Structure 1
Amino acid sequence: MAILVTRPQPDNARTTAALRDQGYVALSAPMLRFEKVLFSLDADADFGAVIVTSANALRGLADQPAASRLFRLPVFAVGDRTAQAAQDAGFRDVISAGGDAHDLRALLTARAQAVKPLLYLAGADLSRDLAAELGTRGFEVVTHTTYRMAPVADLPDDVTTAFAAGQIAAVLHYSRRSARAFFKAAGLAGVEISALAIPHLGLSDAVAKIAHDAGATKVMAAATPDEDALFAALARAIPPNAR
């Protein structure tokens, strides 16, 4: 029996590897696809620092000519992995908030009050309006989109076959958009009944609600929005002797 991972690449590969290290069989069905968005800056644009909340925003900068203008600026990153992605992209002065968007907002409030304006590199679909939140604290923030995550319409053939054969034990969902895409694809593939009958585990209550609203009856949410907590929920849902 396999655990199905629906998060996009390259995170999907890391998660499936981590599951296999824990003794699970893992299958991959990335339900969102990374797409770069053309990035450009006005000739007279002058920013004091860059904000990033996703490593994908930095992936979106790759090979874009305007990116080189930004590498001299300090970067405020939401967490350590995003900070490492900023360094790998070519930024030298990188400060990590070491947590989530709340931690980043607190860091900026403490460290960047005199740095204006800020350039927020973001995706096309934002779960929260960080620029507006910072605006209420006196910051001037300019948002530029560098990528989008497009829904994937079809399940991979091996996943469809595994559902038909009853070989998938649970599905892991990491975002509301990828969960919606999964249930739509399951319906198109004709495996919706099989998919709804097994446990669905969401990274948060909001993600788990998508599975519940789709008709899944065995739905759990991670206690905290991180992968360790999601794996802990999986261990409760799927006993070791059922792997």
Structure 2
Amino acid sequence: MRILVTRPQPDADQLATVLVARGHEVIVEPLMTIDYDAGAKISVEGAQAILITSANGARALAAATPDRGVPLFCVGAVSAAQAAADGFSTISNASGDTNDLAQLVADRCRADGGHLIHIAGSVVAGDLAGQLTALGFTVDREVLYEAKPRDALSDPTKQAIADDLELAVTLFSPRTAKTFIGLIEKAELKGACTSLDLLCLSQAVADAVSGLSCRAVKVADRPTTDAMLALI
């Protein structure tokens, strides 16, 4: 199968490696560029735990503090693996989405046990801080990076769509999905998407592409990379 990988780098290349090893043809087309705040430094003193909702957050945290002993609560396997690769030693994995992460934190932390720090980008999905604040926790949000959308599709991707080639498109967030539709419209390819299978991490992602006429929209049964791979 031919697969369009839309994740930011370096996650795009990591996913592409897995797909190629499984015998798929891959077009790497990151729809977001991650711009880290290179000079950012944060203090984790007094923090009960740090909340990580993406691999980008783990990378940003590693650059912003030398402390590797603070407990981390990660949304899923990819962010947990990145945190481990960056040297953090106490990692809990929610294996799901921000709702699962909020539940894990609520189960294992105390509202009066110290503040929580959420490492985030300039745009966040879900309301992790709101959920935990409603349970009595204090959550400080540290914005350490920005995900900037691409302004055009590459020529190979436009050609693959224009040639009506069967193509599966991986979409890991509503924002990425909306960016994809915007770039399709900009390239005047909206009418050429009938051979596309859209592989969506969640129903929220699928809802974001509801206006695009394509061959199929498939939704992972869990918001994880493994569940996305199971759609292929």
TM-score range, shorter chain: 0.7 to 0.9
> What is the total number of aligned residue pairs between the two structures?
230
What is the one-letter code of the residue matched to 1:9? Q
- Which has the higher mean CA deviation after the structures are superposed, 176-185 or 202-211? 202-211
What is the one-letter code of the residue matched to 1:200? L
**C-alpha offsets along residues 44-76 of structure 1, whole Å, 9 cap, x if unaligned?**
964232221222112223544xx12x4342222
Displacement after TM superposition at 1:151 (Å): 0.8
Displacement after TM superposition at 1:155 (Å): 0.9
What is the one-letter code of the residue matched to 2:60? G
What is the one-letter code of the residue matched to 1:152? R
Structure showing the higher helix proportion among its residues: 1
Q: Is the 8 A contact 1:52 1:78 kept in 2?
A: yes
Aligned pairs (5 A) from 1:3-14: 3-14=3-14
Q: TM-score, normalised by structure 1?
A: 0.81
RMSD: 2.6
* Unaligned residue ranges in structure 1 (runs of 5+): 235-243
**C-alpha offsets along residues 123-181 of structure 1, whole Å, 9 cap, x if unaligned?**
22111111111111111111111112111111112212222333343322221111111
Indicate how the Cα distance of structure 1 residues 191 and 21 shifts in structure 2: closer, same or farther if over 3 A, else same. same
Distance 1:169 1:163 in 2: 8
* Unaligned residue ranges in structure 2 (runs of 5+): none
Indicate how the Cα distance of structure 1 residues 120 and 71 shifts in structure 2: closer, same or farther if over 3 A, else same. same
Aligned pairs (5 A) from 1:167-178: 167-178=165-176
Indicate how the Cα distance of structure 1 residues 186 and 125 shifts in structure 2: closer, same or farther if over 3 A, else same. same
Which of 161, 167, 177 aligns to 1:163? It is: 161
Which residue of structure 2 lines up, in the alignment, with residue 24 of structure 1? 24
Which residue of structure 1 lines up, in the alignment, with residue 118 of structure 2? 120
What is the one-letter code of the residue matched to 1:39? A
Distance 1:228 1:74 in 2: 25
Indicate how the Cα distance of structure 1 residues 145 and 165 shifts in structure 2: closer, same or farther if over 3 A, else same. same
Which residue of structure 2 lines up, in the alignment, with residue 154 of structure 1? 152
Identity of aligned residues (%): 31
